[in-house]
Structure 1
């Protein structure tokens, strides 16, 4: 037996060391040897590591962290005190493992579920003694593990058997039937003859018992029986309501009942069931407390609903605490909303903590705002931690700031962890710098993981560099996952090479995911292969997401075909984004069609960006007057000057010089306008002078004339026009631009 993991570190009493009753859950993988021999080395390593990942969250969720957990080579032993509630909890763990082991191991290992071995599970009691093993680890040795291990021999696939001692406790809560040789095969090793029984489904009556702990509901939720979990929760709630409504119950008992209700509420995920439980509490005449409302807020998906619970709390005279606000801040839809919540906290004398600030920093719109929050943390004597710094590194706009943050961490004695280094690798300006962080990790005895190498592969300058990273990974027994392979596919020089990595993935039992297929579609050399890949995805139950559809729209041979993909994504409730529309606008056959798409974007609350307008104005706009283009564009909520350059270029391409000059009149400072002025100086001067003569107070004519003379090297002639333009200017940005131009002219003339 190999000691694998010990959750409790308490000292055992002399009585315990002398011997006591212990309950043991034995879980054995059926046919594990044959299964493991059929795996590649990477698959074996991934499977072994995943065994711990799979069982850990269930042990923690069921409150078994004080148990002794060890790996036997073919499965697990979980040993704990022989107390009724611990027996019930082990029965719940066994039920979860019997129902979820194969499914979850398939997800962790990316090996198909039908290949994952089923389990045999047995729970038995016995007299064990506590022994100490080198280097000081304690273990239970005796009857419980031996009996449970032998009893698994009676099991069919994913069946649970128990001995009489377990039955005496579990029969109230689970359906139990005797095991006989008529319906089971007796194990070859059955030296100690004792009766065994099969542990079946959880009884509804168990959950209806007002003393039933929340782990019954947790078990039902975990194995996918959410409706039953909700029904049972409400049954329990009804019993608690009946108990709380009895006359003569003192305050201590009422508080105890409320605690049961809160435990029940914490064990369910469905917010509507939680609300019904709240009603039972109120109908019983009990007042929900801060814990009740904090759970309701946490379980409410949308921010407005969560805020409504806070209003209800206040109406009942229950004031939010830091946990309430931290939950709300995490749900806040924007940074400004989250920051307003922190201001409210302070008004109510609730001090933000490190979780508050780390959540706020994560939501900050940019690095400068995030740094300002860290300064506020320090003022409030809250020390930034590794989470703070890792988030800051992720937000840093340049590599110098990244290095400054690392230096700051070192000064404060905060050591980067594997997640910090992954962000540092991602921020590195080139591959060699990224590799230097990997060397630094090793110096600090931090082992790179698959995510470290995946980010390094992304930084690789070429395909050979990416492949070299994979070889290094394998040498260190770090095996590529689906994201690693997706990066390799992206780096591959052509479609056939990319596809070879998909074959390699499948050989290692790793299923391609949506990222894999989307990257492969991007590499596809023709539209027929694109459609074949989409069909393959759907056969494997992988539905395209918005990124996939954006790639498909880009790959479409024409606008009509692109529109088909747009309609399909809407039918599948995949919401288009800015990239979807930008790609569709690019494919639009003319300006009017593209402009109509911009209107659709606005109606769907998708804000067009610079690329949107650049693409729109790159269309043939020769049949549209520049005045109409400007009138429409300036009416848009967001209308940066840069896209006007695309419109100027479009008019020039179609030899519409007069329309191009009209745009240059309003935006003479743009590079495209200045180029037009230099190449058509005579026409530009004539056009701008005509405008100035018609309207001496025109807001743009003198500004355009001044810039024209500067571009032609005639600075002295430019000065009066720029001075007049400065008098006419109303916008601060234009005033600043004109002042800067006059200053440069003055310096230039002074140097002559």
Structure 2
């Protein structure tokens, strides 16, 4: 399964060049999957994509080829400058995958497989697949998969070529490969890749850093907020100098926007905005959308919105989606919708709206409203409806409607239903249904 598949990803078919591949392997994933019901496994698989998506976007890896292997992921790029992004992504996954998947799925963290991660380089050939998409075939994937098999739990290994791209920012140490072979007697190994293990992430700011925002984001994800802010401030000083010499101000402003988007919280945004203005750059809609989304509170967001409008910059689709998201209550969110019309809303916006509805009557109105718009109701919307439903019978009808639309209920759905049941007979019926559908009844909450 391709998460991201750009048909114009790289060179023409038959081009051979250096490719860097990250292999992410979920340890004993098959064993873990067999312990889940089919519905639980479907839920788990869908959240695998949701878990990596934000990190892929924040680290500018949208142009990479990302493939789900059944036991994990392969992430491949031919861009040498993206090596730091690839390692930052691996580091985030090693440290946060189990925690984030537990939060997304509702599963206990010890039921989420830990990872083995390795990044290797190789000379690959670009080939065109039957569907017209471009893929890489060659050494990089084979080497990274072999290297990942050497990993300890949640360890990140890199080969020598990859290590050279980040040697200043990570504490790296060679591994005792012979010892690893003894630990893993079935290990396949055709060549010595000179693997190194990454111990610690200690980014050092340098003027030649291609994308300091990747390191700022990674530090933020690790909870190292003060270090992230310090690095962002150092990067901002360099951008001020670049702004003075820039032949293309739009490109420099793009770098500013990326840096602001990676900032860990609102505390540094005003400082960065002041530096942008002092650099004689004109903030654009993307700049203000970031400021509005990361504002300390709704009042601050409105201040940024007012400044944006005073500069003659009109809100776009993203602006209104952000406003719906940060609205302090349902009435305020609806006001934004009425102001511009529903053409600016997508399914994610409606999911957020449902989380703000004050009562079932308003929820039902909104539910009917999106039905008339032809927007498909999804898992999250049904769950929010069931949660706010005042009685068991109404919740039961929503469950039946879910199933008719091909949206399978899970343990969370039944947990909400059980909280609304008033007699033992209905509890027994629900428990029997769960058993028939392979949904474990011993983990309801």
* TM-score clears 0.5: yes
Aligned mates of 1:89, 1:459 — CA distance in 2: 45
Aligned mates of 2:307, 2:366 — CA distance in 1: 44
Provide the residue aligned with 2:271 in structure 1: 276
Matched, 1:160 2:162: no
Contact 1:96–1:223 (CA<8 Å) still a contact in 2? yes
Shift of 1:226: 2.6
Matched, 1:486 2:408: no
Shift of 1:104: 1.2
Cα-to-partner distance string for 1:2-60 (whole Å, 9 max, x where unaligned): x444421227544x424222111101111223222333333333222222222222222
Shift of 1:123: 0.5
Distance 1:406 1:307, change over 3 A: closer
Provide the residue aligned with 1:615 in structure 2: none
Matched, 1:123 2:119: yes
Q: Give the secondary-structure state (helix, strand or coil) at the position aligned to 1:140.
A: strand
Cα-to-partner distance string for 1:142-197 (whole Å, 9 max, x where unaligned): 11110000001221111111111111212133222212247745652111122111
Distance 1:204 1:90, change over 3 A: closer
Provide the residue aligned with 2:214 in structure 1: 215
Larger Rg: 1
Q: Give the secondary-structure state (helix, strand or coil) at the position aligned to 1:122.
A: strand
Contact 2:119–2:157 (CA<8 Å) still a contact in 1? yes
Provide the residue aligned with 1:658 in structure 2: none
Contact 1:4–1:70 (CA<8 Å) still a contact in 2? yes
Provide the residue aligned with 2:236 in structure 1: 237
1:68 to 44, 54, 65: 65
Normalized per residue, the structure richer in strand is: 2
Q: Give the secondary-structure state (helix, strand or coil) at the position aligned to 1:154.
A: coil
Residue ranges of structure 2 left out of the alignment (5+ in a row): none
Aligned mates of 1:458, 1:334 — CA distance in 2: 16
Q: Which has the higher contact order (CA 8 A, sep 6+)?
A: 2
Distance 1:153 1:288, change over 3 A: same
Provide the residue aligned with 2:282 in structure 1: 289
Aligned mates of 2:430, 2:150 — CA distance in 1: 45
- Which moved further from structure 2: 21-30 or 204-213? 204-213
Distance 1:389 1:183, change over 3 A: closer
Distance 1:9 1:308, change over 3 A: same
Distance 1:210 1:293, change over 3 A: farther
Mapping 1:580-729, distance limit 5 Å? none
Cα-to-partner distance string for 1:674-708 (whole Å, 9 max, x where unaligned): xxxxxxxxxxxxxxxxxxxxxxxxxxxxxxxxxxx
Please give the TM-score of this superposition, normalised by the length of structure 2.
0.77
1:418 to 376, 381, 386: 376
1:46 to 29, 43, 47: 43
Aligned mates of 1:388, 1:473 — CA distance in 2: 21
Distance 1:463 1:176, change over 3 A: same
Contact 2:47–2:101 (CA<8 Å) still a contact in 1? yes
Distance 1:402 1:257, change over 3 A: closer
Cα-to-partner distance string for 1:528-572 (whole Å, 9 max, x where unaligned): xxxxxxxxxxxxxxxxxxxxxxxxxxxxxxxxxxxxxxxxxxxxx
Aligned mates of 2:303, 2:360 — CA distance in 1: 36
Aligned mates of 2:210, 2:121 — CA distance in 1: 24
Matched, 1:27 2:35: no
Shift of 1:216: 1.4
Provide the residue aligned with 1:624 in structure 2: none
Normalized per residue, the structure richer in helix is: 1
Cα-to-partner distance string for 1:264-289 (whole Å, 9 max, x where unaligned): 1121141111223334456xx42352
Contact 2:415–2:444 (CA<8 Å) still a contact in 1? no
Shift of 1:293: 4.7
Q: Give the secondary-structure state (helix, strand or coil) at the position aligned to 2:6.
A: coil
Shift of 1:452: 4.3
Aligned mates of 1:271, 1:464 — CA distance in 2: 42
Mapping 1:723-742, distance limit 5 Å? none
Matched, 1:360 2:335: yes
Matched, 1:174 2:104: no
Distance 1:334 1:112, change over 3 A: closer
Shift of 1:233: 1.3
Contact 1:31–1:117 (CA<8 Å) still a contact in 2? yes
Shift of 1:480: 1.5
Aligned mates of 2:327, 2:429 — CA distance in 1: 42
1:304 to 299, 304, 307: 299
Q: Give the secondary-structure state (helix, strand or coil) at the position aligned to 1:252.
A: coil
Aligned mates of 2:385, 2:302 — CA distance in 1: 39
Contact 1:217–1:232 (CA<8 Å) still a contact in 2? yes
Q: Give the secondary-structure state (helix, strand or coil) at the position aligned to 2:24.
A: strand
